[in-house]
Amino acid sequence: MEFLFENILNLVGFLVGLSIGMISFIGFRNTGSPTLFRLTIAFISISLGFFVIWTGYMIEDFVTKSGSIEKWIQTVGIVIQTIGYFFIAFSHSIKSFFPKSSYFRSVGIFPLFLVSSVQIEHVFRSISFILLAYGAIETMLSYFENRNKGTIWVSAGLGLLALGEFLGWYSFVFPESIMYPISMIIKIGGLLSLFVPVSKVPLRKINFDKDLE
């Protein structure tokens, strides 16, 4: 029953993320906003990550019947979602975060190829949490500056996604707990929170750029 519930939650996450991605794309076509273009990539990536994990559950359910999803499939899904979180959280400030030297950047990425898939999942969950927490804090600080109510929804959404990633890591360390379904529900709630300001974008002229940047 728990396995089926996790399967359904990943499918719901895929559909919610895809819906927000399509709305962002419509907003981009209507306004030409670079921010909406980045959001389109972000939500499509998050949606694709959910889809990959859901596919892993379906393969297990109908093909392998091993009782658990293949770890490498789950890792691939998490990596794809992390790419989406990157575009959400750092689309306007990534240059000030990474070191300027290309040598140091390559040194920072190289160790990822020296660890197992299990460790890679830990690494990317940590990266996702940091990206989302950073984005939530920056967005909340933006609210205190301009008092735009849309930024509250954005900050809450990023905060819920960050909490979901943290609980997802916890469930990976303690697989017998119910933290994974809870983390999925919280992440879907975060996506729905982000849906509120994104859904208003196509109806007005690019005020959302100021919300995020």
What string of DSSP letters covers 53-84?
HHHHHHHIIIII--SS--HHHHHHHHHHHHHH
Q: Write down the pLDDT at residue 50.
A: 93
Angstrom distances, CA of residue 114 to CA of 82, 101, 108, 119, 122 = 19, 22, 12, 10, 14
Structural domain includes residue 62: yes
Q: Percent of the chain at pLDDT above 70? A: 73
Structural domain includes residue 104: no
Structural domain includes residue 58: yes
Structural domain includes residue 107: no
Please list, residue by residue across 6-27, b when 16 or more beta carbons sit within 10 angstroms of its beta carbon and e when fewer do.
bbebbbbbbbbbbbbbebbbeb
> Does residue 206 have a pLDDT over 50?
no
Structural domain includes residue 99: no
For residues 109 and 201, the model is more confident at: 201
What is the residue range of 133's domain?
A: 2-91+115-212
- Mean pLDDT of all residues in 182-207: 77
Number of structural domains, the chain?
1
Confidence of residue 14 (pLDDT cuts 50, 70, 90): very high
> Which CATH number belongs to the domain containing residue 145 in this structure?
1.20.1070
Q: Write down the pLDDT at residue 48.
A: 95
Structural domain includes residue 185: yes
Angstrom distances, CA of residue 208 to CA of 17, 33, 163 = 18, 9, 24
Rounded to whole angstroms, the Cα distance separating 71 from 68 reads 8
Structural domain includes residue 14: yes
pTM score: 0.76
Q: For the segment 54-111, what is each residue's pLDDT rounded down to a tens digit?
A: 898 888 777 777 666 777 888 898 889 989 888 887 654 443 334 444 444 443 444 4
- Mean pLDDT of all residues in 3-27: 86
Q: For the segment 144-191, what is each residue's pLDDT rounded down to a tens digit?
A: 877 777 778 888 888 898 898 888 777 766 666 688 888 889 999 999
Structural domain includes residue 160: yes
